[in-house]
Amino acid sequence: MPALKDIGEREAVEQLKRILDRGLPIGLGHDVGVVDWGEDYLAVTTDVVNQRIHVPAGATPAQIGWYLVAVNLSDIAASGARPLGFVAALALPRDTELEVLKGIARGMDECARQFGIAVVGGDTKESSEMSLAGTALGRVPKSRILLRSGARPGDVVVVTGDLGRAGWALRALSDPSRRTEALELLMRPYPRVEEGIFFSESGAVTSCMDISDGLGTTVHQVSQASKVSFVIDYDAIPLYRGLKDADRKTIEDLALYYGGDFELLATVNPDRLTALLEKYRQTKGLEERHKLTVIGKVEAKGGNRLYSKKGGTVPLENRGWEHFRSSHL
């Protein structure tokens, strides 16, 4: 019998879907699950932060608390929902110092406040190592929910912000002069909640997913859910400033196939693209904080490809961070 290390996280999820998906409103396999709530959906997502896998040495308790809330809100953002609240289950060793627990709580509260919600409850338990589970709730009109399915041939692909920050930060951890900056980039991602709501309300976005595990695997998952192919323009990908002078292999490894940036990838109806981009520019604060960049298009078939002027067209690999397979921090 195969073990989880043999099949990886995504195949494990597929196996779970076969058992658990029984006529749910949107089915399993999206960034959120939903519960019918009148004309809206109650969007629900959960994520676990494990000290051995997610927390680099030197991260502060407040950074850990922020990270726990932020990675959950990123999934809420990808669905276009407005956050409602957050709960957390904190499993900690018995010798954990009280100040560490309080620091985690302060970080959770800071992130929750940033997005207009509160930590409304949870649980604490003893464990041999730190393992923190968060659950975020949101609300979105049924007709406006954003899913991984829905992309159509002819759609335009856009991405928020820039890519490669987390990958750059991981490599920078070994440099004492850059370690503080690197920890901040890794442990304080900023979920694109406002952008997700904007996408939802625009009516122009046909599919959406947060880039938590890398652009390559994100594109693959959306293409599978939508049964289409993507052509991504390598030259158009917005890169983190630390990668501007990097060689192509480094850029691919850190901006395409690493993950941890928590930007949003979306597909847009081409007839509504100009209006969407213009409204994005006019919406106070959005363009100044996180630009929106066109990076490709959707086609009916042909597989996912990466195009560049110098390198021509090559396959865009289904590669990125994957639990049970990828190396730990």
pLDDT digits over 6-57, tens only? 877 767 777 877 787 777 778 878 899 999 999 999 999 999 999 877 899 8
Contact in structure between 272 and 202 (CB atoms under 8 Å) = yes
> Domain 146-315 belongs to what architecture?
Alpha-Beta Complex (3.90)
User: Whole-model pTM?
Assistant: 0.92
Mean pLDDT value across the chain: 93
What is d(CA 268, CA 265) in angstroms, rounded to the nearest whole number? 10
The whole-angstrom separation of Cα 148 and Cα 156 is 15
DSSP-based three-state secondary structure for 177: coil
The tokens describing 295, both together, are 């990076």
pLDDT of residue 311: 87
Least confident of 214-218, 221-225, 240-244, 321-325: 321-325
**Domain boundaries 31-143, CATH class:** alpha beta
Where along the chain do its domains lie?
1-26, 31-143, 146-315
